[in-house]
Amino acid sequence: MTLPPRSAQRQEDTWDIASVFPNSAAWETEYQSVQAELPAFKKFHGKLNGPTILAEVLDASFQIIVRVQKLYMYAELLMSVDASDEEAAALISRAATLDGQVSAAVAFIKPELLANGAEKLSQWASSDSRLAAYTHYFEDLLRVQAHVRSPEVEELLGALNDPFATTYGVVGSLTGAEMRFQPATSSTGEEYPVAQSTTVPLWSSTDRETRRTAWENYHDGYLAFKKTLANNLEGQIKQYVFLARAHGYRSALEARLAVDNIPVKVYHNVIETFRRNLPTWHRYWALRRRILGYQTLHTYDLYSPLTTKLPALPYTQAVDWIAEGLQPLGDEYVQILRRGSLQERWVDIYPNQGKRLGAFSSGCPGTHPFIFMSYDNSLKGMSTLAHELGHSMHSYLTWQTQPLVYSRYSMFVAETASNFHQALVRAHLLHTRPERDFQIGLLDEAMNNFHRYYFIMPLLARLELEMYERVERGEALTADVLNGLFADFLAEGYGSEVEVDAARDGITWATFSHLYANFYVFQYTTGIAAANTLARSILASQPHAVERYLAFLRTGNARYPLDVLQQAGVDLSTPEPIEATFAVLADYVERLEQLTSTPE
């Protein structure tokens, strides 16, 4: 298995990055333009005392913020498909610097705005058409007013965005460009390159020796840098703790959740509900061990296919099945999705040398909602595509509907649309493709997806809480501490059915750059719970369920995430949706038990 160089990819199989900037010279021109406009914000200092000037500065600030997002995004798109691209790395660094400069330049706005008082802001929003759109923005700022510092302090804290971005850049360069892995070896002696973009297919190999060596060599690559990785992550955590304290919050968790007006109990609900439902996972591990016929199940067996009788699934067929599954959302929705997938080149489809691991959706108002992935002609690849198209359709409809101030929806709702797509497409295929092996393969893919997002992610959330609490108590985070904690959490999650390799399983935390976005990983669990709840309502043809869901996609962050989800039909302030989704998981396990206990 040899990966092609980036230059060998057909243009139609890559994303249309030229639609963002035609070349690096155009990027440079925009960079210089943004930088040249920053001093103009100084003329507003101390003058935000009337609706006209306030509307002017707010409009200008959100416009320039989106322009920096576009600069940063372009560089990230370049880097993600070729980690060795030094020019892209330089653009990312410069974009981060500019982002810090912009944050500092507009930092005076919030404290000066709040100095006008709630009554005056309300009057201005009612009387000025340009400020009317900022009503929720004002309400949200007033809610956290006690945590907004003086203009001078906010400017200083905003300027920290640039140096604080270094830790994420370090882990990206180390794991994406400099880390090397020994090749995997099959039971018959063939060697396969282990790289960020090849791990999933290697771990899914039908050959156990290929899986074992690929999994061990990949994690050994991280173990070789465990001290650097732990120290770098500790630095990131200390930054978030510092910022939380600088803004007067009791903890970094409280500070992060306050951004979205989410009670801290919601985070604890995830961890507690997950631990209560571990018997469902233990039941599945036992079933997987029985199906595979192993006396001992290892972590490298958890992605081994439960059936090998599945046809190749070309990209265009995957798009067709996704479109069919999402037809309940209406023709217009499906047509936009198909156009983006097949004509407008939203998707960078296939793996190549230097392409990073994983998949994501990225963009900003004025660009396509791009999708990064490494499609491999499998049900897994189709599911990943459906997931990322959920993100992209969420972004597309938000950008089409909301003003710039509300165009970046909360991360708390971000994983809902993506997992909703998977739930709807999965339900469609379970209903329309009754063949035994296809059903097994589809459920196997579903369980693999749940394993990553409804098992690993809540365990990482538990680790993340422990890490922050230790740092806040003044304790050190060493690689051995982190590895030991996560190995213990995994042992509890796997129970007696999976043998844990303490060192290699323990370093799993380092393979998730998600931890550099503070308190993000728990939102996969809440997102899956919300997605499955909303999907059930649509599949049951509940009145207005489709309209409520589409309204949710168009809301952006014009409302608080818990409120907009509740209006769509799910209440994540309680553990109930998480519990209900464990019932979905249990149903999948039962289906697999029935399918694999009867003869073909």
Active site residues: 388
What value does the CA radius of gyration of the chain take, rounded to a whole number of Å?
24
The two tokens of residue 69 are: 């997002």
DSSP-based three-state secondary structure for 191: strand
CA dihedral sign of residues 266, 267, 272, 274: positive
In residues, how long is the chain?
Answer: 600
Angle CA(568)–CA(319)–CA(547) in degrees, nearest 5? 20
CA dihedral sign of residues 179, 182, 185, 189: positive
CA dihedral sign of residues 6, 11, 17, 22: positive
Look at the block and give the residue holding tokens 């944050």: 103
Neighbours of 257 (CB within 10 A): 20
246 contacts: CB under 8 Å, gap ≥ 6: 149, 153, 157
CA distance readout (Å), 106 to 245, 263, 583: 21, 28, 47
The per-residue DSSP string of 90-102 comes to HHHHHHHHHHHHH
Q: How far is CA 585 from the centre of its chain?
A: 21
CA distance readout (Å), 517 to 77, 81, 257: 18, 21, 12
Query: 303 — phi, psi (to 5°)?
Result: -110, 5
Please check whether residue 556 is in contact with residue 596, taking contact to mean a CB–CB distance below 8 angstroms: no
DSSP-based three-state secondary structure for 498: strand
DSSP structural state of residue 15 = -
Q: How far apart are CA 414 and CA 411, in angstroms?
A: 5
Look at the block and give the residue holding tokens 């365990």: 459
Q: Taking Cα atoms as reference points, which of 566, 582, 273, 303 lies closest to residue 416?
A: 566
